[in-house]
Amino acid sequence: MSSDSYDLIVIGAGPGGYVCAIRAAQLGMKVACVEKRDSLGGTCLNVGCIPSKALLSTSEKFESAKHDYEGMGIKTGGVELDLPGMMTFKDSVVEANTKGIEFLFKKNKIDWLKGAGKIKGAGTVEVDGKDYAAKNIVIATGSDVASLPGIEIDEKRVVSSTGALVLDKVPETMIVIGGGVIGLEMGSVWARLGAKVTVVEFLDQILPGMDGEVRKEANKIFAKQGIEFKLSTKVTSVTPDKDGVDLTLEPAAGGDVEKMQAEIVLVAVGRRPYTDSLGLEEAGVEMDERGRVKTDHGFKTNVDGIYAIGDVIAGPMLAHKAEEEGVVLAEMLAGQSGHIDYNLIPGVVYTHPEVANIGQTEEQLKEAGVEYKAGKFPFMANGRARAMNCTDGFVKILADAKTDRVLGCHIIGPEAGTLIAEIAAFMEFGGTAEDIARTCHPHPTLEEVLKESALAVHGRQIHM
Ligand code: FAD
Ligand code: NAD
């Protein structure tokens, strides 16, 4: 094989692409990964999961030190924000992670082809004017920020999540368009640092797609934290001027127009699959009506030897979903078999408290006519949550009424994102509520709330 010829070329080094490249290399393939950014790791490591979690973590510590410590007998003597220092910390976390992927590429002998990749047809990828040959090509080009018609994101006053990660001062006021995951995570960061945050959501409740009770509870808790919500409302215009940004809002169902002003507007209305300048049309690769690359269950496009994974195909736009797809595809290309149960991909919102879910919601089960039992238990009745001074929220487990098999779990509460992993493992093995209830959980832990809610499915909870 010549130096410009590979078993596999992956385009895009996000969690889908870099994981696929590493697994393929582990399985003995000669692999290259094309990435046009100056650093590896994609949206997730550079402008997504990792920097947002660094700011969520530091802003939560700041907020706690300001408001919670005194009630727990800790005198801080005045807490001040050093925003440049916080941003430097966040940047250092990003750099450590992206450099880590460079190290992994070297360790696995994966060539990083620096530049924008273009598919010239099955078997050939062009990078910066040079052609590379590959037996197989994987499109892992991810997603980009979506906006609304007539709203221009300048990343200064009207920002996307990317701009919201690098603001150089805390705005007095911030209007967030969209009460989804990014709106709540980035809205929480800036609210904790001192901005007056208003979230405008088109639907009648925040966090679409999540369990109804969790959505209501989340709204209540975040409102208590000082975030204002305007539900069933759409933003019809956004006009930056020298003093800030003027907005017009309208009830979703139509009605009187309201005018608002904010120093910063964050547009968080979703992301779009990214296939710009990739040459898909010329290569004859089919897309769906939403601009996503069309694939079959084996991630194959309609063109032999071209595959796609991650945010650029259908399914939830989540890093761990992209990673699972990367691993399974690499194994399939090596002649192994693989399968992903898309019902078992957990979702987590890293607010305080966190929100996490897996499987079906009550609304989905009702709509499908499935008979189920629900067991719910509040963190308020858990000793560890009290000791941590984090008692907001609950766990809800949904189990099949006849078989007791767990069909879904919905959590709002401390460390929900960590707790959901236990339920994911039970569900992966077809576990029942009784299985969770009979498993000895250490005391005192937040995990006991999982056990109690499993017991509650059968009306046997002990501590309430
Ligand atoms: P991406 O990570 O988007 O990577 C694609 C890469 O391909 C990019 O680096 C791009 O530069 C490159 N590329 C594109 N076209 C070309 C080309 N022609 N040539 C060369 N390179 C190209 N998900 C979670 O699971 N948990 C979270 O906490 C979370 N937080 C998020 C926070 C924010 C603010 C955002 C924006 C997203 C977050 N996500 C989170 C979503 C997560 O980042 C994505 O689901 C994930 O990054 C998708 O991975 P991917 O590999 O499909 O694509
Ligand atoms: P989202 O789909 O989660 O939320 C967008 C929200 O905007 C929805 O509630 C929608 O109803 C609302 N909306 C749409 N048009 C509107 C309008 N005109 N006016 C008011 N509201 C409007 O999208 P997002 O928050 O931008 O996140 C994008 C993607 O990134 C998501 O798919 C998410 O999975 C991923 N992400 C994940 C995490 C995480 O896992 N913790 C964090 C950030 C982002």
Concatenated DSSP letters of 32-51: EEEE-SSSSSHHHHHHSHHH
Q: How far is the CA of 111 from the centre of ligand 2 (A)?
A: 34
Mutate to test the pocket of ligand 2, among 49, 269, 274 (most ligand atoms within 8 A of CB): 269
Question: pLDDT digits over 18-56, tens only?
Answer: 999 999 999 999 999 999 999 999 999 999 999 999 999
Question: pLDDT digits over 451-460, tens only?
Answer: 999 999 999 9
Spans of the chain below 70 pLDDT: 1
**Per-residue tokens: 337:** 């078999």
Q: Which atom of ligand 2 is nearest to the CA of 319?
A: 40
Domain borders along the chain are 5-145+272-340, 158-269, 344-457
Q: Which CATH architecture has domain 158-269?
A: 3-Layer(bba) Sandwich (3.50)
According to CATH, the topology of domain 344-457 is: Enolase-like; domain 1 (3.30.390)
Q: Report pTM.
A: 0.98
Concatenated DSSP letters of 305-334: TEEE-GGGSSS---HHHHHHHHHHHHHHHT
**Per-residue tokens: 49:** 């999961």
One-letter amino acid identity for 413?
A: G
Q: What is the structure's pLDDT at 63? A: 96
Query: Class for domain 5-145+272-340, per CATH?
Result: alpha beta
Q: Which atom of ligand 1 is nearest to the CA of 16?
A: 51
- Fold agreement (5-145+272-340, 344-457): no
**Per-residue tokens: 322:** 């992209």
Q: What is the structure's pLDDT at 1? A: 67
Which residues belong to the active site? 443
Q: How far is the CA of 461 from the centre of ligand 1 (A)?
A: 42
**Per-residue tokens: 249:** 């809002």
Q: How far is the CA of 20 from the centre of ligand 1 (A)?
A: 14
Question: pLDDT digits over 220-234, tens only?
Answer: 999 999 999 999 999
Q: What is the structure's pLDDT at 172? A: 98
Q: What is the structure's pLDDT at 241? A: 86
